[in-house]
Protein backbone atom coordinates (compact mmCIF):
# COMPACT_ATOMS: atom_id res chain seq x y z
CA UNK A 1 0.00 0.00 0.00
CA UNK A 2 2.55 2.56 1.10
CA UNK A 3 4.83 1.95 -1.89
CA UNK A 4 1.90 2.53 -4.25
CA UNK A 5 1.29 5.96 -2.74
CA UNK A 6 4.87 6.95 -3.50
CA UNK A 7 5.55 5.32 -6.85
CA UNK A 8 2.54 6.95 -8.46
CA UNK A 9 4.11 10.40 -8.23
CA UNK A 10 7.05 10.67 -10.61
CA UNK A 11 8.21 14.06 -9.29
CA UNK A 12 9.01 12.29 -6.05
CA UNK A 13 10.69 9.25 -7.58
CA UNK A 14 12.77 11.07 -10.21
CA UNK A 15 16.52 11.35 -9.73
CA UNK A 16 18.28 14.65 -9.14
CA UNK A 17 20.36 15.38 -12.28
CA UNK A 18 24.08 15.35 -11.30
CA UNK A 19 24.60 18.89 -12.56
CA UNK A 20 21.44 20.25 -10.90
CA UNK A 21 22.73 19.95 -7.32
CA UNK A 22 25.79 22.14 -7.32
CA UNK A 23 26.85 25.27 -5.52
CA UNK A 24 27.58 26.44 -2.00
CA UNK A 25 26.33 24.41 0.92
CA UNK A 26 23.35 26.00 2.64
CA UNK A 27 23.94 27.41 6.10
CA UNK A 28 20.84 26.08 7.83
CA UNK A 29 21.70 26.60 11.47
CA UNK A 30 18.98 24.55 13.14
CA UNK A 31 18.52 21.17 14.80
CA UNK A 32 17.41 18.39 12.44
CA UNK A 33 15.10 15.57 13.48
CA UNK A 34 12.11 13.44 12.55
CA UNK A 35 8.55 14.30 13.48
CA UNK A 36 8.00 10.99 15.32
CA UNK A 37 10.50 12.12 17.95
CA UNK A 38 7.90 14.67 19.05
CA UNK A 39 5.95 12.45 21.43
CA UNK A 40 3.30 11.25 20.96
CA UNK A 41 3.90 11.64 17.20
CA UNK A 42 1.70 14.71 17.17
CA UNK A 43 2.83 15.99 13.77
CA UNK A 44 3.45 12.78 11.81
CA UNK A 45 1.21 11.53 8.99
CA UNK A 46 -1.05 8.47 9.42
CA UNK A 47 -1.58 6.64 6.11
CA UNK A 48 -4.27 3.98 5.71
CA UNK A 49 -5.65 1.82 2.92
CA UNK A 50 -9.36 1.07 2.67
CA UNK A 51 -11.28 -1.51 0.69
CA UNK A 52 -14.83 -1.63 -0.65
CA UNK A 53 -15.76 -3.76 2.38
CA UNK A 54 -14.89 -0.93 4.77
CA UNK A 55 -17.86 1.22 5.79
CA UNK A 56 -18.61 4.43 3.98
CA UNK A 57 -18.43 7.26 6.48
CA UNK A 58 -19.77 10.81 6.16
CA UNK A 59 -17.23 13.63 6.15
CA UNK A 60 -18.41 16.81 7.89
CA UNK A 61 -16.99 20.32 8.08
CA UNK A 62 -16.36 22.13 11.36
CA UNK A 63 -14.64 25.56 11.42
CA UNK A 64 -13.28 24.91 14.95
CA UNK A 65 -11.80 21.50 14.17
CA UNK A 66 -8.26 22.88 14.41
CA UNK A 67 -8.58 25.67 16.96
CA UNK A 68 -10.55 23.76 19.62
CA UNK A 69 -8.08 20.88 19.59
CA UNK A 70 -5.16 23.32 19.76
CA UNK A 71 -6.85 24.93 22.78
CA UNK A 72 -7.28 21.54 24.49
CA UNK A 73 -11.08 21.66 24.40
CA UNK A 74 -11.54 18.78 21.94
CA UNK A 75 -9.47 15.72 21.07
CA UNK A 76 -8.82 14.08 17.72
CA UNK A 77 -10.56 10.92 18.98
CA UNK A 78 -11.99 9.57 22.23
CA UNK A 79 -14.07 12.64 23.12
CA UNK A 80 -16.73 12.36 25.83
CA UNK A 81 -20.35 12.03 24.58
CA UNK A 82 -21.17 15.63 25.56
CA UNK A 83 -18.16 16.90 23.61
CA UNK A 84 -19.10 14.78 20.60
CA UNK A 85 -22.56 16.35 20.69
CA UNK A 86 -20.97 19.79 20.81
CA UNK A 87 -18.75 18.94 17.83
CA UNK A 88 -21.68 17.63 15.81
CA UNK A 89 -23.83 20.65 16.65
CA UNK A 90 -21.28 22.93 15.00
CA UNK A 91 -20.61 20.70 11.99
CA UNK A 92 -22.01 20.98 8.48
CA UNK A 93 -22.58 18.28 5.83
CA UNK A 94 -20.79 20.30 3.14
CA UNK A 95 -17.53 22.24 2.97
CA UNK A 96 -18.00 25.94 2.17
CA UNK A 97 -14.83 26.43 0.07
CA UNK A 98 -13.14 24.59 -2.79
CA UNK A 99 -9.53 24.99 -1.63
CA UNK A 100 -7.62 24.53 1.57
CA UNK A 101 -7.97 27.20 4.21
CA UNK A 102 -4.33 27.86 5.09
CA UNK A 103 -2.52 28.24 1.74
CA UNK A 104 -2.09 31.34 -0.41
CA UNK A 105 -0.10 32.80 -3.28
CA UNK A 106 -0.16 36.22 -1.63
CA UNK A 107 1.64 37.28 1.57
CA UNK A 108 -1.12 39.79 2.31
CA UNK A 109 -4.42 38.10 1.47
CA UNK A 110 -5.92 34.63 1.18
CA UNK A 111 -5.54 34.04 -2.56
CA UNK A 112 -5.66 30.50 -3.92
CA UNK A 113 -3.94 29.68 -7.21
CA UNK A 114 -6.18 29.71 -10.25
CA UNK A 115 -5.07 26.21 -11.27
CA UNK A 116 -5.69 23.46 -8.71
CA UNK A 117 -7.98 20.48 -8.21
CA UNK A 118 -10.94 21.99 -6.40
CA UNK A 119 -12.62 20.28 -3.47
CA UNK A 120 -16.34 19.55 -4.00
CA UNK A 121 -18.59 21.61 -1.72
CA UNK A 122 -21.37 19.00 -1.67
CA UNK A 123 -21.71 16.43 1.12
CA UNK A 124 -19.72 13.28 0.53
CA UNK A 125 -18.79 9.90 2.01
CA UNK A 126 -15.61 7.81 1.94
CA UNK A 127 -14.51 4.27 2.72
CA UNK A 128 -12.58 4.42 6.01
CA UNK A 129 -11.55 1.42 8.11
CA UNK A 130 -12.58 1.18 11.76
CA UNK A 131 -9.00 1.58 13.02
CA UNK A 132 -8.22 4.79 11.08
CA UNK A 133 -7.27 7.66 13.38
CA UNK A 134 -5.62 11.04 12.73
CA UNK A 135 -2.39 12.19 14.33
CA UNK A 136 -3.29 13.58 17.78
CA UNK A 137 -1.80 17.06 17.34
CA UNK A 138 -3.58 20.26 16.24
CA UNK A 139 -2.97 19.61 12.51
CA UNK A 140 -4.64 16.19 12.79
CA UNK A 141 -3.51 14.89 9.39
CA UNK A 142 -4.93 11.65 8.01
CA UNK A 143 -4.65 10.05 4.55
CA UNK A 144 -6.82 7.13 3.44
CA UNK A 145 -6.36 5.43 0.08
CA UNK A 146 -9.76 4.62 -1.42
CA UNK A 147 -10.69 1.46 -3.34
CA UNK A 148 -10.48 3.44 -6.61
CA UNK A 149 -6.84 4.39 -5.76
CA UNK A 150 -7.60 8.01 -5.02
CA UNK A 151 -6.54 9.30 -1.60
CA UNK A 152 -8.72 11.14 0.89
CA UNK A 153 -6.65 13.67 2.84
CA UNK A 154 -8.10 15.43 5.86
CA UNK A 155 -6.72 18.25 8.01
CA UNK A 156 -7.86 19.11 11.51
CA UNK A 157 -9.46 15.65 11.61
CA UNK A 158 -11.72 14.39 14.40
CA UNK A 159 -13.09 10.83 14.43
CA UNK A 160 -16.30 10.34 16.44
CA UNK A 161 -17.46 7.15 18.14
CA UNK A 162 -20.22 6.92 15.50
CA UNK A 163 -17.59 6.66 12.76
CA UNK A 164 -18.35 10.13 11.45
CA UNK A 165 -15.30 12.13 10.42
CA UNK A 166 -15.02 15.87 11.04
CA UNK A 167 -12.39 18.08 9.41
CA UNK A 168 -11.44 21.68 8.81
CA UNK A 169 -10.28 20.94 5.28
CA UNK A 170 -10.02 17.97 2.93
CA UNK A 171 -9.02 17.00 -0.58
CA UNK A 172 -9.01 13.95 -2.82
CA UNK A 173 -5.78 13.42 -4.73
CA UNK A 174 -5.04 11.25 -7.74
CA UNK A 175 -2.34 8.59 -7.40
CA UNK A 176 -1.68 8.86 -11.13
CA UNK A 177 -0.88 12.57 -10.88
CA UNK A 178 2.53 14.23 -10.83
CA UNK A 179 2.27 14.63 -7.08
CA UNK A 180 2.39 18.42 -7.15
CA UNK A 181 0.32 21.22 -5.63
CA UNK A 182 -2.34 20.93 -8.33
CA UNK A 183 -3.78 18.15 -6.14
CA UNK A 184 -4.84 20.71 -3.48
CA UNK A 185 -3.06 18.65 -0.82
CA UNK A 186 -3.33 19.43 2.87
CA UNK A 187 0.01 21.19 3.32
CA UNK A 188 0.92 24.85 2.93
CA UNK A 189 2.55 23.99 -0.41
CA UNK A 190 -0.68 22.20 -1.49
CA UNK A 191 1.44 19.08 -2.11
CA UNK A 192 -0.36 15.97 -0.75
CA UNK A 193 0.67 15.36 2.85
CA UNK A 194 1.45 11.66 2.36
CA UNK A 195 4.02 12.18 -0.40
CA UNK A 196 7.66 12.05 0.65
CA UNK A 197 6.80 10.51 4.01
CA UNK A 198 9.40 7.96 5.16
CA UNK A 199 8.04 4.58 6.19
CA UNK A 200 9.78 2.57 8.91
CA UNK A 201 10.03 -0.37 6.51
CA UNK A 202 12.25 1.72 4.24
CA UNK A 203 14.64 2.42 7.10
CA UNK A 204 14.65 -1.28 8.04
CA UNK A 205 15.37 -2.24 4.42
CA UNK A 206 18.06 0.43 4.16
CA UNK A 207 16.70 2.04 0.96
CA UNK A 208 14.45 5.03 0.29
CA UNK A 209 13.45 5.30 -3.37
CA UNK A 210 11.89 8.75 -3.35
CA UNK A 211 12.45 12.36 -2.40
CA UNK A 212 11.74 13.10 1.25
CA UNK A 213 9.29 15.71 2.55
CA UNK A 214 10.64 18.23 5.05
CA UNK A 215 9.35 21.19 6.99
CA UNK A 216 11.48 24.26 7.70
CA UNK A 217 11.33 27.08 10.24
CA UNK A 218 9.83 30.35 8.98
CA UNK A 219 13.26 32.01 9.22
CA UNK A 220 14.47 29.84 6.31
CA UNK A 221 11.46 30.51 4.04
CA UNK A 222 10.58 33.30 1.64
CA UNK A 223 7.23 34.21 0.08
CA UNK A 224 8.06 32.59 -3.23
CA UNK A 225 6.96 29.31 -4.79
CA UNK A 226 9.05 26.67 -6.52
CA UNK A 227 7.47 23.75 -8.36
CA UNK A 228 6.08 21.27 -7.25
CA UNK A 229 4.57 23.65 -4.65
CA UNK A 230 1.58 25.77 -5.65
CA UNK A 231 1.33 28.01 -2.56
CA UNK A 232 2.80 28.85 0.84
CA UNK A 233 1.36 29.67 4.27
CA UNK A 234 -1.56 32.07 4.25
CA UNK A 235 -0.08 33.91 7.25
CA UNK A 236 3.53 33.81 6.03
CA UNK A 237 4.22 37.45 6.96
CA UNK A 238 1.63 38.03 9.66
CA UNK A 239 2.41 35.17 12.03
CA UNK A 240 5.29 35.53 14.50
CA UNK A 241 7.91 34.67 13.43
CA UNK A 242 7.27 35.59 9.79
CA UNK A 243 8.95 34.14 6.75
CA UNK A 244 12.37 35.81 6.59
CA UNK A 245 14.74 33.47 4.75
CA UNK A 246 15.99 32.57 1.27
CA UNK A 247 14.14 29.35 0.36
CA UNK A 248 10.84 29.21 -1.56
CA UNK A 249 8.14 26.74 -0.65
CA UNK A 250 8.68 23.66 -2.80
CA UNK A 251 12.47 24.05 -2.94
CA UNK A 252 14.37 20.81 -3.52
CA UNK A 253 17.57 20.33 -1.53
CA UNK A 254 20.09 17.58 -2.20
CA UNK A 255 23.59 16.36 -1.44
CA UNK A 256 25.74 17.01 -4.54
CA UNK A 257 26.55 13.93 -6.62
CA UNK A 258 30.29 14.71 -6.41
CA UNK A 259 30.36 14.28 -2.62
CA UNK A 260 31.57 10.91 -1.35
CA UNK A 261 29.06 9.95 1.36
CA UNK A 262 31.83 8.19 3.27
CA UNK A 263 33.21 11.65 4.01
CA UNK A 264 30.15 12.33 6.20
CA UNK A 265 31.25 9.61 8.67
CA UNK A 266 27.66 8.61 9.34
CA UNK A 267 27.00 6.58 12.47
CA UNK A 268 23.73 4.75 11.76
CA UNK A 269 22.25 2.63 8.93
CA UNK A 270 19.19 4.90 9.06
CA UNK A 271 21.40 7.94 8.47
CA UNK A 272 23.12 6.17 5.60
CA UNK A 273 19.79 5.35 3.93
CA UNK A 274 18.60 8.96 4.28
CA UNK A 275 21.90 10.31 2.95
CA UNK A 276 21.79 8.05 -0.10
CA UNK A 277 18.22 9.15 -0.86
CA UNK A 278 19.22 12.80 -0.27
CA UNK A 279 21.88 12.45 -2.94
CA UNK A 280 19.73 10.54 -5.44
CA UNK A 281 16.30 12.16 -4.93
CA UNK A 282 16.72 15.02 -2.46
CA UNK A 283 14.38 16.70 0.01
CA UNK A 284 11.34 18.82 -0.92
CA UNK A 285 10.07 21.62 1.33
CA UNK A 286 6.33 21.02 1.78
CA UNK A 287 5.41 23.08 4.84
CA UNK A 288 6.49 25.44 7.60
CA UNK A 289 7.55 23.80 10.84
CA UNK A 290 8.80 24.87 14.26
CA UNK A 291 12.34 25.85 15.18
CA UNK A 292 13.98 22.80 13.60
CA UNK A 293 14.29 21.05 10.25
CA UNK A 294 11.97 18.05 10.32
CA UNK A 295 11.66 14.93 8.17
CA UNK A 296 8.17 13.49 7.90
CA UNK A 297 7.63 9.90 9.06
CA UNK A 298 4.62 7.64 8.70
CA UNK A 299 2.62 7.78 11.94
CA UNK A 300 1.11 4.28 11.88
CA UNK A 301 3.97 2.07 10.66
CA UNK A 302 3.12 -1.62 10.90
CA UNK A 303 6.62 -2.53 12.11
CA UNK A 304 7.99 0.56 13.86
CA UNK A 305 11.75 1.08 13.79
CA UNK A 306 12.89 2.14 17.26
CA UNK A 307 15.38 4.67 15.87
CA UNK A 308 12.49 6.65 14.36
CA UNK A 309 10.24 6.64 17.41
CA UNK A 310 12.72 7.39 20.19
CA UNK A 311 15.35 10.10 20.02
CA UNK A 312 18.64 8.61 18.85
CA UNK A 313 21.97 10.44 19.24
CA UNK A 314 23.59 8.71 16.26
CA UNK A 315 20.74 9.52 13.88
CA UNK A 316 20.59 13.08 15.22
CA UNK A 317 24.31 13.50 14.44
CA UNK A 318 23.84 11.93 11.00
CA UNK A 319 20.98 14.27 10.11
CA UNK A 320 23.03 17.28 11.17
CA UNK A 321 25.90 16.08 8.95
CA UNK A 322 23.56 15.50 6.01
CA UNK A 323 21.99 18.95 6.20
CA UNK A 324 25.38 20.64 6.52
CA UNK A 325 26.10 19.31 3.01
CA UNK A 326 22.89 20.10 1.09
CA UNK A 327 22.53 22.60 -1.74
CA UNK A 328 19.52 23.95 -3.60
CA UNK A 329 18.71 21.95 -6.72
CA UNK A 330 18.44 24.25 -9.72
CA UNK A 331 15.02 24.30 -11.37
CA UNK A 332 14.98 22.87 -14.93
Measured distance CA(277)–CA(121) in Å, rounded:
39
C-alpha neighbours within 13 Å on the C-beta side of residue 12: 31
The widest CA-to-CA distance across the chain, in whole angstroms, is 61
**What is the pLDDT at residue 1?**
42
Per-residue pLDDT in tens (0 to 9) along the chain, 332 residues? 444 455 455 789 889 988 888 888 999 999 999 999 987 778 889 999 999 999 999 999 999 999 999 999 999 999 999 999 999 999 999 999 898 899 999 998 999 999 999 998 888 899 999 999 999 999 999 999 999 989 999 999 999 999 999 999 999 998 888 999 999 999 999 999 999 999 999 999 999 999 999 999 999 999 999 999 999 999 999 999 999 999 999 999 999 999 999 999 999 999 999 999 999 999 999 999 999 999 999 988 888 999 999 999 999 999 999 999 999 998 76
Give the total residue count for the chain. Answer: 332
Measured distance CA(207)–CA(289) in Å, rounded:
26
C-alpha neighbours within 13 Å on the C-beta side of residue 301: 21
Contact 160, 84 (CB under 8 A): yes
**What is the pLDDT at residue 237?**
96
Cis amide bond preceding 143, omega within 30:
no
This prediction has a pTM of 0.95
Contact 151, 144 (CB under 8 A): yes
The string of DSSP letters for 1-56 reads: -HHHHHHT-HHHHSPPPTTTS-SPPP---S-EEEGGGSTTTTTSB-EEE--TTSPE
Q: How many CB atoms lie under 10 A from the CB of residue 111? A: 14
Cβ-based neighbours of 84, under 8 Å, separated by 6 or more: 160, 161, 162
Contact 280, 213 (CB under 8 A): no
Measured distance CA(169)–CA(313) in Å, rounded:
37
Q: Where are the chain's structural domains?
A: 2-328
Angle at which helices 313-323 and 269-280 pack, to 10 degrees?
A: 20
**What is the pLDDT at residue 8?**
53
Contact 154, 141 (CB under 8 A): yes
**What is the pLDDT at residue 9?**
58
Contact 128, 166 (CB under 8 A): no
Contact 126, 60 (CB under 8 A): no
**What is the pLDDT at residue 286?**
98
Amino acid sequence: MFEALLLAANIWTSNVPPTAAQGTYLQLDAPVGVDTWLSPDIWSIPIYSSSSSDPKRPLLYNPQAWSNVAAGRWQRAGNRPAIEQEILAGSLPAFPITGNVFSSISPYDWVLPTSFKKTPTTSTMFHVANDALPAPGPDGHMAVMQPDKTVLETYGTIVLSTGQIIALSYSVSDLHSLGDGYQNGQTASMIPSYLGVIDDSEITAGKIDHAMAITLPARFLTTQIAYPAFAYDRNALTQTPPYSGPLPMGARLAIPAKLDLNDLHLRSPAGQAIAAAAQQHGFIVVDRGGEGITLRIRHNAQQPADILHHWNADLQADLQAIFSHVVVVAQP
